[in-house]
A = this chain, B = another copy of it.
Amino acid sequence: MTPSKPQLPVGNALIGQSGGPTAVINQSLVGVVEGLRGHKNVKKVLGAVHALRGIVDGKFIELNKIGRPRLERLAQTPSAALGSSRDKPNAEYCRRIFDQLNRHNIRYFFYIGGNDSSDTCRIVSEMAKLDGYALHCFHVPKTIDNDLMCNDHTPGFASAAKFVAQAFMGDNLENAALPGIKINIIMGRHAGFLTAASVLARQNKSEGPHLIYVPEVPFSVEGFLGDVERVYKQHGRCLIAVSEGIHDSEGTPIITKLADAIERDSHGNVQLSGTGALGDYLSAAIKGHMGKDARVRADTFGYLQRCFAGCVSPVDAKEARQVGREAARHALLGVTEGSIAIERVSSKPYKVRYRLINVREVAAKTRTLPPEFIVNGNNISESYRGYLSPLVGKLPVIETIR
């Protein structure tokens, strides 16, 4: 993919941040800025305000004018500093984007986001090629869902997983102190990686989370009630992790069974987050099944899990920075299109390498939790801990005396 004598275009660079923010998405932004800094062919480094919308409206911020100390603070700040967007571009929208790139002499384009964002990158890159417009177009991976193909894991995921693990560590102890049945709803429409992260909180077999439900397994309310009753009889309490995206065997999300008015986004997705409806529904089902004696509670982690200030995995922060730098490096080596993937070299000691991949390998595709991590359809294996622990890093001390 790298030509032997690359002809690097001269012009400006543009960076956008798309989709749901993460705790480390600004590390990637700063990584790209650092990677481009000082190169003679790159004049301005612009940031698109609210992603695609900013491009279409010509709303940019000059990132190369920001000093290093401020950039470093920015890298440590959660959520997308440039602003994000959930617009789903069609061909006409991509045409408008491309026209703006042309107008502003953008020759290096970096789009930080998930699988939808990589598809936008692909379309824009193809338009440039058709028009014979020299554009180096890169997707920079980001998603707490951890659902990009070709990646061992994605930037943003480990910090969200750390939040889920720490929340469950506390909540398991709370559930042990005041025994009852507790449901926690975790983000994840199609992929259960983040919900599965709750297993990191489990100190031993009798501790919670006792049950873990991911969207990779069709959900049956009857089966769920039987599981909960069995665990409650055995331990006198039950702590449960549930993906917001659980659905029945026909693929219908459980949340649609109860919501009066289903809200959909521009991608046609049902609104799963920002409501306690699924937790309350499962809670009511348990109360109906087990009677009033059981103390049943549900919490929905919601948006807290992806941008909580101060809950960042150091490995995640470092890798998020590096994927940005790598994208810039390849662009300046003359590669005209691609995405950066994280590949694990070894777990002990933890080591990764960054691979340049074809953007079509990730575009609009979804990776799900491998079946070997799922146990009995209602739990997660200890082997998942081996996969996840090096990413999340050190967790708080837990000591018990009962």
**Chain A: residues with CB nearer than 8 A to chain B?**
17, 20-21, 23, 47, 49-50, 61, 63, 66, 70, 73-74, 76-86, 166-167, 169-171, 173-174, 176-178, 182, 273-277, 279-280, 283, 296-304, 306-311, 395-402
Contacts and interface: CB of A to CB of B under 8 A. Distances in A.
Contacts of A311: 166, 310-311
Contacts of A275: 276, 279-280, 283, 297-298
A307 B399 contact: no
Contacts of A80: 173, 177
A139 to B, nearest CB: 19
Contacts of A50: 177
Contacts of A299: 274, 300, 302-304
B300 A276 contact: yes
B298 A274 contact: yes
Contacts of A302: 297-300
A289 to B, nearest CB: 15
Contacts of A176: 79, 83
B74 A170 contact: no
A253 to B, nearest CB: 16
Nearest to A265: B295
B177 A399 contact: no
Most buried by B among A50, A61, A82, A303: A303
Contacts of A397: 73, 76-77
